[in-house]
Structure 1
């Protein structure tokens, strides 16, 4: 019988320590770059900085620039651009829903091509995602009832349910402001607010899942030495299109599924392994909001 040869690479504690130090340094560099960018934006967009740059530019125009004098025009242009960007972000943050009018160029369009547009702005992980749009028109002659004409809402958002609840246009429905007794009245304001709430909740859940994957280093390449050896969680992902169910897989074979409510709280959790259900981990994971799943998982690991 030929003896088997163990070709595995022995673990080196020095390499393991160096990998951790390099990872920590890379995280510190990323954090410092982000902090520098925020500080530069804050300084350039402040009123005192703009006043100082304007005074310097006026004084430079009155006198000839010496070779050692710095031209403030590029700085002033950057400050103006940053100010415009800040105002736009502030508007999109405070006015998450914007209405506007559209003229349909189709000569056969209903209601003479008049379309009401809704723009929904959502921020996720410190950045604004691409805006979502909903186009509404009045397809029924002599009626003020609205109907969804076009939209860019992803399929994971229950748009049809919200339309049936807040914008009914079937028999017995009435437009906003109608005084018909017993009619199902449309409410565009509540529809827009409910739709934005669904979109914000979806992006928050997706961002939390991404944060958990980053926290447990699931997107990094697994190696036979270094950080790959200490991995305990094998995978964390969304189990449905709406990301209201989170699937957690442990390295030891346990598989869990969490049900997340509309407010981001973990309503239920089931963890099953080779020896049956793990009730202790279930209670720990379902103890609070979705954002704290990572911390509660680490309580059971360490």
Structure 2
């Protein structure tokens, strides 16, 4: 057979390359649409299967005696998943604390297993469940009924170490007895510890939401309140904060933020140079208010307006309004009497 040389390849056509790119983009769009439709179908299926009518029908079918096997074995994986999510949501709605058995996968902690896990679900002001907090407790020894906190995700503003020493005391024979034992036969109270931890977490969430709501009503930047030392990159090239413009200075307030991470001290800055510090209690009441003028001297009258009677932090907006009105009226009286009081400092 004679060998024949293959013809040279045709010259590349730019229009064909662009057509290939166009078809690739269309294929990718169709794939993305397919994934979105699959996800929507799963969501709708779980929503339908989680309805009360479907649950009632499942209960009726489950009540019927079956000669072979159980009805649960015939349920689809999707239905079982929907039932699980429905029960989990109902539990988290009714109960804020869940206990469960947990095995630490770390090789160095295998001798401590099994652990007692505790999950705390906290709802914010919008009714949404935030990221849960966890505590894991272990036995002091295999033969002991006393427990200690092994690991946790509780924030630092909760005095967990103090609660542990108060509610989970150890006897002299237990691990760490010489350091943590109170020398008494007081029984351990895990429920009391969890109640205190949950109270602090709920109080923190309420204080944070109250400050966010206050910032929103004052017309300041929406969303989470920024820390006292915010990044200078938030400023525009002309040095003006992009979040808080001049039009948002309601009651003359330029800034209101939390002084620390536990939201128990609020810092207020007025446009006339005044500075205010509000001390908030654990249960959300205003314990003390300090107002400093531009000369760094305390203004006791304004402090009484803000903190008199220990009002809840949710009433801080009305107190700021009263303070603003009193300052305006005082300034108006000062202007009207300025000629006669010109000699006064």
TM-score by length of structure 1 reads: 0.64
Write 1 or 2 for the structure with the bigger share of strand.
Answer: 1
Query: Does the CA contact (< 8 Å) of 1:98 and 1:118 recur in 2?
Result: yes
Change in Cα spacing, 1:106 to 1:270, as seen in structure 2 (3 Å) is closer
Q: Distance in 2 between matches of 1:192 and 1:185?
A: 15
Query: 1:91: how far off?
Result: 2.3
Deviations 1:173-229 (A, max 9, x none): 79xxxxxx93232100101111100111111111111111111122174446xx246
Change in Cα spacing, 1:223 to 1:212, as seen in structure 2 (3 Å) is closer
Q: Which runs of 5+ in 2 are unaligned?
A: 1-49, 58-77, 176-182, 223-242, 326-345
Query: 1:142: how far off?
Result: 2.6
Equivalent residue, structure 2, for 1:190: 192
Query: 1:300: how far off?
Result: 2.0
Query: Does the CA contact (< 8 Å) of 1:139 and 1:146 recur in 2?
Result: yes
Equivalent residue, structure 2, for 1:167: 168
Query: 1:87: how far off?
Result: 5.9
Query: 1:97: how far off?
Result: 0.7
1:91-130 alignment runs, 5 A limit = 91-106=91-106, 108-109=108-109, 111-126=111-126, 127-130=128-131
Query: Does the CA contact (< 8 Å) of 2:251 and 2:324 recur in 1?
Result: no
Q: Distance in 1 between matches of 2:112 and 2:281?
A: 43
Question: Helix, strand or coil for the counterpart of 2:276?
Answer: strand
Query: Does the CA contact (< 8 Å) of 1:173 and 1:184 recur in 2?
Result: no
Q: Distance in 2 between matches of 1:103 and 1:84?
A: 22
1:136-285 alignment runs, 5 A limit = 136-169=137-170, 171=172, 182-219=184-221, 221-223=243-245, 227-228=247-248, 232-274=252-294, 276-285=297-306
Query: Does the CA contact (< 8 Å) of 1:137 and 1:149 recur in 2?
Result: yes
1:29-108 alignment runs, 5 A limit = 88-106=88-106, 108=108
Task: Give RMSD over aligned pairs.
Answer: 3.1
Aligned residues: 222
Higher relative contact order (CA 8 A, sep 6+): 1
Query: Does the CA contact (< 8 Å) of 2:136 and 2:150 recur in 1?
Result: yes
Equivalent residue, structure 2, for 1:36: none
TM-score by length of structure 2 reads: 0.57
Q: Distance in 2 between matches of 1:136 and 1:113?
A: 10
Change in Cα spacing, 1:115 to 1:244, as seen in structure 2 (3 Å) is same
Equivalent residue, structure 2, for 1:15: none
Query: Does the CA contact (< 8 Å) of 2:171 and 2:185 recur in 1?
Result: no
Larger Rg: 2
Q: Distance in 2 between matches of 1:93 and 1:116?
A: 22
In the alignment, is residue 293 of structure 1 matched against residue 295 of structure 2?
Answer: no
